[in-house]
A and B are shown apart, each in its own frame.
Chain A
Amino acid sequence: MKKWKELVPGAVVLEAGSSEKFKTGSWRSFRPRWIEENCIQCLFCWLYCPDMAVKVVEGKMTGFDYDFCKGCGVCARECPGKKGQKAIVMEPEGK
């Protein structure tokens, strides 16, 4: 953490999106696991994730950003999956 004298005067932050340096992934006690064969690419997981931790490339869900995922489980709860089979399951962290 910076000392106050090292900060820009006037409580100004000049670097947009600098929070990216603060990894919130260590908060997690549950970890989402993606089961690709059940994924219908609806992107609800991406939409509802409060931590911008669902990786979407060219309009397709590709997995999670575990540096930032806090393990809330919203994505798993909202995932419709295929034929009642969820494409995201939550598992205890560190197992």
Chain B
Amino acid sequence: MATELKLKELSKKPDIFCHGHRMCSGCGAPTVVKMVLLATEYPVVISNATGCLEVSSCIQDLTAWKTPWIHSAFENAAATIAGVETMYKSLLKRGKMPENVKFIAFGGDGGTYDIGFQSLSGAMERWHDMLYICYDNGAYMNTGIQRSSATPLGADTTTSPAGSAIPGKLQPRKDLTKIMAAHGIPYAAQASPSHWMDLMKKVRKAHEIKGPKFMNIIAPCNRGWRSQTDDSILLSRLAVETCYWPLYEVEDGKLKITSKPKEKKPVAEFMKPQGRFKHLFAPGNEALLERVQQEIDKNWERLLKEDAAE
């Protein structure tokens, strides 16, 4: 029987991702990984794209993982786990493996939206039985906060520096969750660690579906967001409440919003505590801040329509 999704019960499960990892104090990503694995009730094999999570969780012979885990490169976490899954299927047929082993790939936004995208797209199209999880912190954090296609409009990064020439990143984010859903895969979803129950239910659902699954999970980074070490969960909650990061799933092509904010907050509430948006609150940048809000409103309206149409 599956462990009830109650914290008291879940706390009795052994850690699969352990302490001693060296991600920054207050990083959002370890909590995301912990929640995904708490929700997982099967033996898992994990591949990890290069990035903060990978670099800091396995240093020399010290690993924070208590399950088979493989890192090969930055651009191929999906292809790597697809290969493992294919081998597993062959061994399973020959009776050399137990049933019901699950396969998860973790990648950062740089490793997923950009550099590992071809590998991810291919693995989904080949219909591997796997769950790809992007922990989205909105930049290439491990190498010093370079912009990625997940970096939000207006954000200050080292390659979209806010100053006299430009007011931070000039382009809005790429909507990767929608792009993955457009692959026609059986399950694509967006989640946030602040809404842990919603996140865990999505992971559970994904594991019960055969074929390729994709989840995009927001993972605040206090170094890159220029925020505090104690606000990762608070910011991921504000991301949902402002509709910057809507919680929804697309199952067999049907879109469902899984948690609607009671009252949609202005996106400024999510942005204000983050130093990467500081310049947007200075005189002269009102128009850009307004454009950020309009982009959020437009996307949210579209989601509501798609949700209602189902």
Cross-chain contact B7 with A43 (CB below 8 angstroms): yes
Q: What residue in chain A is nearest B7 (Cβ atoms)?
A: A43
B64: nearest chain-A partner, CB-CB: A19
Secondary structure class of chain B's binding surface, majority of residues = loop
29 contacts between A and B (CB under 8 A): A2-B61, A13-B61, A13-B63, A15-B61, A16-B65, A17-B18, A18-B61, A19-B57, A19-B63, A20-B20, A21-B62, A22-B20, A24-B19, A24-B20, A24-B22, A47-B7, A47-B31, A47-B196, A48-B31, A49-B31, A50-B29, A50-B34, A51-B25, A53-B19, A59-B11, A70-B24, A73-B26, A74-B31, A78-B234
- For the complex formed, measure the closest distance between the CB of A50 and the CB atoms of chain B, giving whole angstroms: 4
- The reply to whether the CB of B79 lies closer than 8 angstroms to some CB of chain A is no
Known: A20-B18, A50-B30. A43 touches B8 (CB 8 A): yes
Check: A35 CB closer than 8 A to any chain B CB.
Answer: no
What DSSP secondary structure best describes chain A's contact surface?
loop
Contact of B233 among A1, A22, A53, A78 (CB under 8 A): A78
A19–B19 CB distance below 8 A: yes
A58 / chain B contacts, CB cutoff of 8 Å: 12
Closest chain B CB from A87 CB (angstroms):
15
The reply to whether A16 and B7 contact each other, CB–CB distance below 8 Å, is no
10 interchain residue pairs of minimum CB distance: A19-B20, A72-B26, A73-B230, A70-B25, A68-B19, A59-B8, A50-B30, A43-B7, A19-B64, A52-B19
Best-surrounded residue of A2, A15, A20, A53 (most CB of chain B within 10 A): A20
**A16-B63, A73-B230 are known contacts. Are A50 and B9 too (CB-CB below 8 A)?**
no
Are A46 and B7 in contact, CB atoms less than 8 angstroms apart?
yes
CB distance from B157 to the nearest CB of A (A): 23
Q: Report which B residues bind A (CB closer than 8 A).
A: 7-12, 15, 17-31, 34-35, 57-67, 193, 196, 228-234
CA distance A22 to B56 in the complex (A): 12
- Measured CB to CB, the closest approach of chain A to B27, in angstroms, equals 6
Do B196 and A51 touch (CB < 8 A)? no
Interface residues on chain A, number (Cβ under 8 Å): 43
Q: How far is the CB of A33 from chain B (nearest CB, A)?
A: 15
Are the C-beta atoms of A72 and B19 separated by less than 8 Å?
no
Q: A16-B66, A68-B19 are in contact. Are A73 and B229 (CB under 8 A)?
A: yes
- Count chain A CB atoms within 10 A of each CB in B11, B17, B29 and give the residue with the most: B11
At the interface, yes or no: A23 with Cβ under 8 Å from chain B? yes
Please state if A50 and B11 are interface contacts (CB–CB under 8 Å). no
What are the residues of chain A within 8 A of B12 when measuring CB–CB?
Answer: 58-59
A60–B59 Cα gap in the complex (Å)?
32
